[in-house]
Structure 1
Amino acid sequence: MASPTSANIDAPLRIRLHRQCGACNHLFLPGDHLVALLCNEKSIRAYSVLTFVPNSQCKLLEHDNIQFCMHHICGFCSKLNEGEESVTVHADCLSMFGQTCSAPDKYQRLWIAGTRIYPWRTVAPLELDPGCCASPELISSAAGLHRTLLPELADIIGGYLQPHHALLRFCSVIRLAKELSRAEMDYAVTYPLCEVLSWSRGASPTLVEQGQAANPRVRLTIDSRGIERIERVSDDSQETTRDLLTNSHAYVVDLVEQLSGVSIGFQLGMSRLQVPTSVNISIWNVPSPQDLPRTTCITFHGKLSSGRFAALDLDPKQCTGLSFFLSIRQIMAIHGHTKRGSRAPQAFQHLNRDHSPGLFWIYIPITANDKVIAIGTREAYIANGGSYSIVLKMKSGTYFIGFPLVKIMGPIDETLHLIQEADDRHLTLIHEVPYNTGISFIAVDKVTRTTSRIIIKRSNFPHYSTHSYASLEGVVNARVLRDKEKGMCRGILLEYEDGTLRALGQCRLGLDTVQCYKHPTKFHYTIVKYSSHIKTHDSRCLQAAFDSESGLFSTHNNSEWKTCPMKGFLQFSFNHFGVAVRYHDAWRPHFDY
């Protein structure tokens, strides 16, 4: 690897590191060995970065006088975009690409492909899931076999591999290397975006001919490699659905006149926008955002950190629940669930690596018998800052998504938007998709009227905690979710006779182990203390179980275990220091505070 020395450079050379490989398009994992590529008109240079460390600050390698930065927005590297653009790749992907690509300028071509991951240079990382390209030919080539595997055998091998397995990464690298080997290298050709009628990766663009009538909107389809397709669409294309199990595509859809001044360059069968600072472009998770219903903003805090948005149709036939990932002060992400599963576990693990001491997970089940009747916010302002939380009122009860700042806080401004019920169409939730910061924008449709009030928050739970509650009567199934590290209860999911569900604590579906209890008759729990990462506090963990028709739970005559009948209410609070559980024999007004 060529590397400049400190004798040649007076100031440190700053190189931005990306979280996504420019060759295989997979996200980096802790410990991955990386190489950074820089390219100019004269040369392509490679710098070994050692290993990937999430959320790393600028790091100076003194022997080479090089400064690597893994932040998309860094105060020390605010002028980084003005210099040479970098591409980051796995060291083994770079080696595989070098062995497979036959073009004499192979590494320059790789650098071009790596920069095209970003649809335009200043956009925040999209980090879309790479598509699976594990064909029998590619698997055989990646494994170094001289004969092509039978399709059945290739399918078996592909089914056993983890998403980030090197063999799958190499399949993507080999596919890219073959495409770039065939592509004709020429100078980039640039057109105003409004003049492009259609285009797909690997082809030449079709331009709008003079006098030709074209649809009024431009749609860009984006995948993990950048812009995949450009097309003109009408105002009523009626494509608003998406698969909640994937995060493979994003879309830019706007009227042609709104994108005035935007141009697009084509090179090596790939494309990239050139966006002036005066133009704001929105990125969506649905292909036709113009067909989404008119919404009412329920929360807006500060400046939008990104121009990226997601729309979720809360039809219980499609969406079985919502997961909110929280830090102490912010909602970091929202993910939908389906009967087939969710991306939430993988997204949580990826996002959680960047936050210490970790994120919280609040799950809200959605069923046909339990509609959203109101949604709103609670905001509080005190000397050292403010906090806000989302209030979601359902027929089964209220959920609070967020953390109050202090044990006794007031006043709190509460604003609730009442949702129309007499309508066959289900609620649509739209929210910002920020990069490495909190969500500042959430909106819903079907709002009939808005109410506001000022309340005084008085809670007998510890400060910086969030709470949930549920009735213990009429429960037909109970699920206890336990973390895999200590086997402690993180959350409880209760199913009732009427088909509704209530979630208590952190129900991290797909991440924690689940134990089911059919027709529970009693609830048992105890608090166990552990040494905390915070020196001044012990961590309070919960052990919980139910008696059910399949057997009785034994507390081994331990007096620290508490037993509750299946009636009354259970209140569950948690924060970074642990959990608190309280049983109430009847409804208490403070449940909704």
Structure 2
Amino acid sequence: MPIQRFNVVELSEIRGITFYLNTTVVLAVHIHCAGQESTLWTDKAVTEGKRPDSAFADPIRVYLPLPKSDRITYLGANGSGDRLNVIYVRMEKAGDITIGQRQPGCLEDKFLAAQNSISLIYCEPNRAEALSFFGAYQASPATFDVASRPIFPHPGATQMGQYTYYSWASLDGVSSVVIFYEDDFDFCRGLMLYYENGGRRTVGDCRVQMDRQATVDRPTRICFRTKVPESLMGENGIGTVCKLRVEFEHHNGHEGDEFWHCLPFRGIIRFWSALGLPWVSVEQ
């Protein structure tokens, strides 16, 4: 049996967490202690082996920003058997965030911590096996009525099939946006939104300090288009998949182009990722 190493970290002392998802399972976490340091070491540990039941060639990386201007007020989780499927986070300013996908037949959600100083306990990755332990500790637990815990919606992944990572964020009150690009610096993998109130959220697959990035300040419009790769025309067993381009314009730079969708920068952005290929919609 391989040796497993456990780590404990105070959430108020770190600046973010990258969660690795494969199919509907959380594989690993990477702690960003200062700034947004690279996840290369954890990437290697996770991708050296590959689960035989994995639907993804490469895990989806979900980045949870933890700026000093915001804090976690609730932390919960759910899983099936010995697998962690979904993590629930309520941020004081950024709001409710769901990481992963709740599976049918699971028991009720588990309350991990709330309000006061929270220490995260987790197991280091081990050859792409599922994350074997994820928990929290509070020296002085807050008085919390479990019956009144937050209710997180379970929208599923109907846009692109069961094995899809879904994320969403508000476009209201955004001061700037960071775009995470694929290697060709053309197609978008994910977005990180900075809010005027000090909160931050991400949508999509954000590989911090690995992907090329571009920052747009004070966007007034969001323009996006999709492109279906020639090798993936038609059904691929999971659903319709597309390459995604996203641009943020201060004017309508794509007027008259039927392949682009340009909208005022407001409302809700919804982002689905599967097989490294995204789909996006904006609701206003």
- TM above 0.5: yes
Q: Is the 8 A contact 2:270 2:281 kept in 1?
A: yes
Q: Is the 8 A contact 1:380 1:413 kept in 2?
A: no
Q: Is the 8 A contact 2:19 2:61 kept in 1?
A: yes
Which of 308, 323, 338 in structure 1 is aligned with 2:5? Answer: 308
1:371-382 correspondence to structure 2 within 5 Å: 371-379=71-79
Distance 2:172 2:152 in 1: 30
Give 1:298's aligned residue. none
When normalised by structure 1's length, the TM-score is 0.41
Distance 2:99 2:179 in 1: 21
Give 1:366's aligned residue. 66
SS of the residue aligned with 2:43?
helix
Which of 17, 31, 50 in structure 2 is aligned with 1:336? Answer: 31
How far is the alpha carbon of 1:504 from its aligned partner?
A: 0.9
Unaligned runs of 5+ in 1: 1-121, 125-305, 586-593
Distance 1:380 1:438 in 2: 12
- Which structure carries more helix by proportion? 1
1:530-541 correspondence to structure 2 within 5 Å: 530=229, 531-532=231-232, 535-536=236-237, 539-541=241-243
How far is the alpha carbon of 1:563 from its aligned partner?
A: 1.8
1:441-590 correspondence to structure 2 within 5 Å: 441-446=133-138, 447-448=141-142, 449=144, 450-451=146-147, 457-459=154-156, 460-462=158-160, 463-485=162-184, 487-530=186-229, 531-532=231-232, 535-536=236-237, 539-548=241-250, 552=251, 554-555=253-254, 557-576=256-275, 578-585=277-284
How far is the alpha carbon of 1:360 from its aligned partner?
A: 0.9
1:321-332 correspondence to structure 2 within 5 Å: 321-332=16-27
Distance 1:393 1:455 in 2: 9
How far is the alpha carbon of 1:410 from its aligned partner?
A: 5.8
Q: Is the 8 A contact 1:484 1:512 kept in 2?
A: yes
CA displacement 1:380-439 (0-9 Å, x = unmatched): 68xxx987211112121222222345xxx4676223345124xxxx42111012421111
How far is the alpha carbon of 1:501 from its aligned partner?
A: 1.0
- Give the letter aligned to residue 198 of structure 2: G
Q: Is the 8 A contact 1:413 1:453 kept in 2?
A: no
How far is the alpha carbon of 1:346 from its aligned partner?
A: 4.0
Q: Is the 8 A contact 2:16 2:31 kept in 1?
A: yes
Distance 1:319 1:454 in 2: 26
How far is the alpha carbon of 1:369 from its aligned partner?
A: 2.6
Distance 1:372 1:454 in 2: 16
CA displacement 1:489-519 (0-9 Å, x = unmatched): 1110111112221111111111111011111
Alignment length, in residue pairs? 267
Q: Is the 8 A contact 1:523 1:547 kept in 2?
A: yes
CA displacement 1:340-390 (0-9 Å, x = unmatched): 542413432553353361111000000123211111113468xxx987211
Aligned-residue Cα RMSD (Å) equals 3.1
Unaligned runs of 5+ in 2: 51-55
SS of the residue aligned with 2:40?
helix
Q: Is the 8 A contact 2:176 2:194 kept in 1?
A: yes
The answer to whether residue 101 in structure 2 is matched with residue 399 in structure 1 is no
Q: Is the 8 A contact 1:413 1:455 kept in 2?
A: no
Distance 1:456 1:487 in 2: 33
- Which structure carries more strand by proportion? 2
Of all paired residues, the percent bearing the same amino acid is: 21
1:29-178 correspondence to structure 2 within 5 Å: 124=2
Q: Is the 8 A contact 1:541 1:578 kept in 2?
A: yes
Give 2:53's aligned residue. none
Distance 1:541 1:528 in 2: 5
Which of 431, 437, 440 in structure 1 is aligned with 2:122? Answer: 431
Distance 1:440 1:319 in 2: 22
Q: Is the 8 A contact 1:336 1:342 kept in 2?
A: no
Q: Is the 8 A contact 2:167 2:204 kept in 1?
A: yes
Distance 1:453 1:320 in 2: 24
Q: Is the 8 A contact 1:411 1:454 kept in 2?
A: no
Give 1:419's aligned residue. 114
Q: Is the 8 A contact 1:328 1:403 kept in 2?
A: no
Q: Which moved more, 1:410-419 or 1:568-577?
A: 410-419
Residue 486 to residue 455, structure 1, CA distance change in 2 (3 Å): closer
When normalised by structure 2's length, the TM-score is 0.81
Which structure would you say has the larger Rg? 1
Q: Is the 8 A contact 2:185 2:212 kept in 1?
A: no
Distance 1:380 1:561 in 2: 41
Q: Which moved more, 1:452-461 or 1:427-436?
A: 452-461
Distance 1:527 1:544 in 2: 9
- Give the letter aligned to residue 332 of structure 1: L
Which of 23, 39, 42 in structure 2 is aligned with 1:347? Answer: 42
Distance 2:48 2:199 in 1: 34
| Higher RCO by CA contacts (8 Å cutoff, separation 6 or greater) | 2
